[in-house]
Amino acid sequence: MVATTTLKAMTTEDKNLSSLQGDTTPFTDRIGILGAGRAGTALARAAATVGVPVNIASSRSPSQMKYHLAQYAPQATAVAAKDIGTDVSLVVLMVPQDDLDDVDPESLAGLTLIDATNRWDDMPLPIWLEDGQSAGLSSSEVIAEHFHSSRLVKALNHISHWDLDSDSSTRQAQQRALAVASDHKAEAVLVARLVSTLGFTPVLVGKLAKGSLLEPEGEIFNQVLSVAQLRTLLHES
Ligand SMILES: NC(=O)c1ccc[n+]([C@@H]2O[C@H](COP(=O)([O-])OP(=O)(O)OC[C@H]3O[C@@H](n4cnc5c(N)ncnc54)[C@H](OP(=O)(O)O)[C@@H]3O)[C@@H](O)[C@H]2O)c1
């Protein structure tokens, strides 16, 4: 029954995307994580368990982060926020959305940028983000316009830091699907490889506009879903 539903839910676009996500070459490049709070350090620990090296930055200097990182992300290398894009193949944005005005787009220019951010409750937003969303765009579409010199991919936002940090055998056994949305196919495939290496099953869901389905108000957010269940929810939304 589930298989029939899934087949019905598969459009031509899905099938094209499915063939792209067949690249399961392990991801081994160094990544940058901007934000060293609950989400950023959970991703750093998950990356360490699968051998992906991490540079991490917060609003504090590397020396000010020393004791924090010794406890929460001991294998990550602390760098200054302005240097997060140096010597890495992609950067994961894991700062609160209300702090995005303090992130210099130039420091991320030319990079693949994973937008893992969410809005919580009535958190005040930067004016450009509030205006773009009021105009009907998904938050990632607006963030992509703001960081227009980067190639943006929405991913890793709809899983909690607790689940990101589960042990790698649990992650593999769950075969939990995580969505990847982008207007840039090559970058989406790169991010899908990272998601797969972390022990999840990536699902390329199409363009950034679909990112709104992954946001906190949606049915996908914070749910442990298989590939079939994720695709079904995407098509029903
Ligand atoms: N928590 C989750 O389960 C989860 C899961 C997926 C996605 N997310 C998303 O990830 C983002 C962060 O959430 P969180 O729970 O990790 O928040 P958090 O615990 O409050 O941590 C926020 C981090 O962002 C850093 N930061 C703030 N402004 C910065 C700037 N301009 N440059 C560099 N770093 C900056 C902070 O630096 P300092 O430490 O120096 O203050 C802190 O390390 C949010 O958008 C959230 O929606 C969270």
Model pLDDT, residue 83: 98
What's the CA gap between 74 and 67, in Å, rounded? 9
Model pLDDT, residue 225: 96
Q: Give which of 6, 4, 2, 18 is closest to 234, Cα–Cα.
A: 6
- Residue reference for tokens 């420091």: 107
107 lines ligand 1 (CB under 6 A): no
Model pLDDT, residue 168: 76
Model pLDDT, residue 24: 74
94 lines ligand 1 (CB under 6 A): yes
Pocket test for ligand 1, best of 45, 71, 94, 114 (most atoms within 8 A of CB): 94
Q: What is the CA(117)–ligand 1 centre distance, in A?
A: 8
Domain span at residue 188 reads 2-236
Q: Block means of pLDDT (10 residues each) for the chain, length 237 residues?
A: 43 58 84 98 97 98 98 98 96 98 97 96 92 95 98 98 88 88 97 96 95 92 96 89
What's the CA gap between 84 and 61, in Å, rounded? 12
CATH code assigned at 149: 3.40.50.720
- Does residue 52 come out as left (phi exceeding 0), alpha (psi in the -120 to 50 range) or beta? beta
Contacts of 19 (CB under 8 A, 6+ apart): none
Model pLDDT, residue 123: 87
Model pLDDT, residue 84: 98
Q: 192: which 2 tokens?
A: 């899908």
- Residue reference for tokens 């709070």: 37
Model pLDDT, residue 171: 78
Q: In Å, what is the CA distance from 143 to each residue of 124, 157, 189? A: 15, 14, 20
User: To the nearest 5 percent, what fractions of the chain are helix, strand and coil?
Assistant: 45, 15, 40
Q: How many helices (H) and strands (E) does the chain have?
A: 10, 8
Contacts of 5 (CB under 8 A, 6+ apart): 228, 232
Does the pTM surpass 0.85? The reply is yes
Model pLDDT, residue 6: 43
Model pLDDT, residue 3: 40
Count structural domains, the chain. 1
What's the CA gap between 233 and 61, in Å, rounded? 42
Model pLDDT, residue 22: 63
Residue nearest to atom 32 of ligand 1 (CA): 59
Q: What is the CA(129)–ligand 1 centre distance, in A?
A: 17
Contacts of 215 (CB under 8 A, 6+ apart): 118, 119, 138, 139, 157, 158, 221
Question: What atom in ligand 1 is closest to the CA of residue 160?
Answer: 3
Model pLDDT, residue 75: 98
53 lines ligand 1 (CB under 6 A): no
Q: 39: which 2 tokens?
A: 């989400």
Model pLDDT, residue 13: 58
Model pLDDT, residue 170: 82
